[in-house]
Amino acid sequence: MGRVTLRETGVVGVGIRKVTLLGHPVLRATARPLKPDEIRGAEVRRLVREMVATMEEYDGVGIAANQCWESLAAFVMGLPKGTKRHPEGIELTVVFNPIIRPIGDETEEDWEGCLSVPDLRGRVRRHSQLELSGLDADGKPFKRVYKGFPARVVQHETDHLNGLVYLDRMDGLKTLSYMSEMGRAG
């Protein structure tokens, strides 16, 4: 089963937000953690629906609240099964106040892009496996282990909440490329 979208569930009237672009101060600020009662409130629930709709509209795999103009420690991620980016898919997940704990020392380098840095890609080294803890969509604590591509997404989105973008994690800018130019012989 692929990602269940808001459109498929019949939720209407959900706004799609314009994605915050690199250069706006909200992307460089440390996001504010939320309390469980805030998470269960109508405003935050609406924000989460809008984040999911925005991620889907922009064909993203994840999006952080500050990419939707809100300096709150929250992100969503998800990807339907069968996609070229990650055939196994990623379950639609809502995370508040994420904490990452790497598992082991293994890292892998791969291409990353970002909705806030459109049309560019660069190679970034990330932990191969991690434990993610935080609060879920109901404000309840959880822990999950991620590896490979989903672990990369968790790290990327958590970086956003700490005022970082993938460019800050690159080992130099030699691999920074426009998507239209990737793969060309040099």
pTM score = 0.90
pLDDT at 184: 64
pLDDT at 16: 95
- Beta strands per DSSP E along the chain: 62-64, 74-79, 90-102, 107-114, 117-127, 129-135, 141-147, 177-178
Q: Tell me, yes or no, whether 115 lies in a domain.
A: no
**Which residues, in sequence order, are CB contacts of 100 under 8 Å at separation 6+?**
127, 130, 131, 132, 154, 155, 158
pLDDT at 1: 31
What percent of the chain has pLDDT above 70?
91
Q: Tell me, yes or no, whether 146 lies in a domain.
A: yes
pLDDT at 108: 97
Q: Which structural domain, as residue segments, surrounds residue 47? A: 6-102+132-164
Q: Tell me, yes or no, whether 108 lies in a domain.
A: no
In CATH, what number is assigned to the domain containing residue 62? Answer: 3.90.45.10
pLDDT at 145 over 90: yes
Residue 53 structure tokens: 């709709």
Residue appearing with tokens 């130099």 = 172
Alpha carbons 141 and 25: distance in angstroms, whole number: 30
Residue range 30-36: average pLDDT? Answer: 98
Instruction: List residues with catalytic annotation.
Output: 157
Label residue 7 by pLDDT band (50, 70, 90).
very low
Q: Tell me, yes or no, whether 107 lies in a domain.
A: no
Coil, strand, or helix at residue 60?
coil
Alpha carbons 180 and 184: distance in angstroms, whole number: 9
